[in-house]
A and B are shown apart, each in its own frame.
Chain A
Amino acid sequence: QQQVKQSPQSLIVQKGGIPIINCAYENTAFDYFPWYQQFPGKGPALLIAIRPDVSEKKEGRFTISFNKSAKQFSLHIMDSQPGDSATYFCAASRGNQFYFGTGTSLTVIP
């Protein structure tokens, strides 16, 4: 059973657009929700993370929106750039157990 469901599977936006990636979870015991960025041939790298007591977090051009009652969270990338083209994974964790979504392949067209 997939602990974290992620959509869409792929996304294409124009430079300057705002791609949005969505994730949903079921286990209310999760207490940490990170987003990772992965380039081909590299391991995932932490982008931004949020705890469930906060509804929004911004770091630079990246924003997480968190809806605890709906058990959903999303990543928004402001003013997207071609260099943002990568695969993005959401995750949810409690303790040392991390569960990843299936990933979203983002392409930003110049």
Chain B
Amino acid sequence: GAGVSQTPSNKVTEKGKYVELRCDPISGHTALYWYRQSLGQGPEFLIYFQGTGAADDSGLPNDRFFAVRPEGSVSTLKIQRTERGDSAVYLCASSPAGGGSYNEQFFGPGTRLTVL
């Protein structure tokens, strides 16, 4: 069956530009997570959705970052006025109903964002 998909796989942009990263979770998974993985580091939590609502956005680094999930399925991570420090792999994961501990997260392959 289809896993979590993310598009684009690679995105190169210039400093100051706006970017959108898309995540298609596994069908039926109500929990969705966004993480950022810098080179040589583990994934860093950004935001968690349960259904359509952002249940926890405490990991978003600043107000340039925003994510939506309007219909409870596909999610888009939006980054305004990109900075070179935003360069990283952005990972999306989905989980069956309820999310949280004990429910396995299934990760997508990530979007590699490079800000020049």
Contacting pair A43 B101 (CB below 8 A):
no
Which residues of B lie under 8 Å from residue A102 when comparing CB positions? 40-42
Give the dominant DSSP class at A's interface.
strand
Interface string of B86-97 (1 = CB under 8 A from A): 000001010000
Contacting pair B100 A95 (CB below 8 A):
yes
Contact of B33 among A41, A51, A96, A103 (CB under 8 A): A96
With an 8 Å Cβ cutoff, the count of chain B residues facing the other chain is: 26
Which residues of A lie under 8 Å from residue B48 when comparing CB positions? 96-97
Contacting pair A41 B109 (CB below 8 A):
yes
The residues of B with any CB-CB pair to A shorter than 8 Å are: 4, 31, 33, 40-45, 48, 50, 55-56, 91, 93, 99-102, 104-110
The residues of A with any CB-CB pair to B shorter than 8 Å are: 4, 6, 31-32, 41-46, 49, 51, 89, 91, 93-103
